Amino acid sequence: MRLLLIADTHLPLRAKALPGQVWREVEAADVVVHAGDWVEAALLDELEARSERLIGVYGNNDGADLRARLPEIARADLDGVRLAVIHETGGKQGRERRCDELFPDADVLVFGHSHIPWDTVTPNGLRLLNPGSPTDRRRQPFCTYQTAEIRDGELSDVALHELPLRR
């Protein structure tokens, strides 16, 4: 099972559209995960139409229309991997401890908000993943997203992808 992880797309405020490279990943993915801050529902509509399966949550920049359609926290069992998705986890100090306490029943937690890529494992074995943003690099050198695979009930091949700078 191939996963595409994105967050903080902020469309159309930070970009007019997702980069073509990300749309190619959508087409290749079995599951697309979006960890919030869509800003407008048009991207949700398009991802729902073009994804085999979409798991998404709302973020702090998402209005009532998106909040009516998306949960604050999403959970799914993906071939034996217990996935949770949330937009915000708080500051990086103490993140592992907080997430262990809040998500004891998850194997993987995908989150967004900071636009900073993140990949760590908590003391309790929870894998924390933040794909950064494919459209708003903020203070990062590149816009980013992540891909991963699930094989035999295990998350594997987690990769961070850097997008070319827009000119």
Residues composing the chain: 167
- Percentage of residues in the chain with pLDDT exceeding 90? 93
pLDDT for residue 166: 67
Mean pLDDT of the chain: 96
The pLDDT of residue 167 is above 70 = no
What residue segments make up the domains of the chain, in order of their start? 2-163
- Percentage of residues in the chain with pLDDT exceeding 70? 99
Provide mean pLDDT across the span 155-167: 89
pLDDT for residue 13: 85
Instruction: Give the integer Cα–Cα distance in Å for 1 and 60.
Output: 30
The pLDDT of residue 5 is above 70 = yes
Q: Give the tens place of pLDDT for each residue, 70-123.
A: 999 999 999 999 999 999 999 999 999 999 999 999 999 999 999 999 999 999
Q: Is-contact 9 113, C-beta < 8 A? A: no
Provide mean pLDDT across the span 142-155: 97
**Strand partners for 73:** 86
pLDDT for residue 109: 98
Phi, psi of 46 (to 5 degrees): -70, -40
pLDDT for residue 14: 78
Q: What is the largest CA-CA distance in the chain?
A: 43
| Dihedral angle over CA of 138, 139, 145, 148, nearest 10 | -140
pLDDT for residue 165: 78
Nearest to 126 by CA among 159, 100, 91: 100
The model's pTM is: 0.96
pLDDT for residue 114: 96
Tell whether domain 2-163 is in CATH 3.60.21.10: yes
C-alpha to C-alpha distances, 117 to 92, 101, 138, nearest whole angstrom: 12, 22, 12
C-alpha to C-alpha distances, 157 to 78, 132, 152, nearest whole angstrom: 15, 17, 13
Instruction: Give the integer Cα–Cα distance in Å for 106 and 120.
Output: 14
Question: What H or E segment, with its residue span, contains residue 45?
Answer: helix 41-50
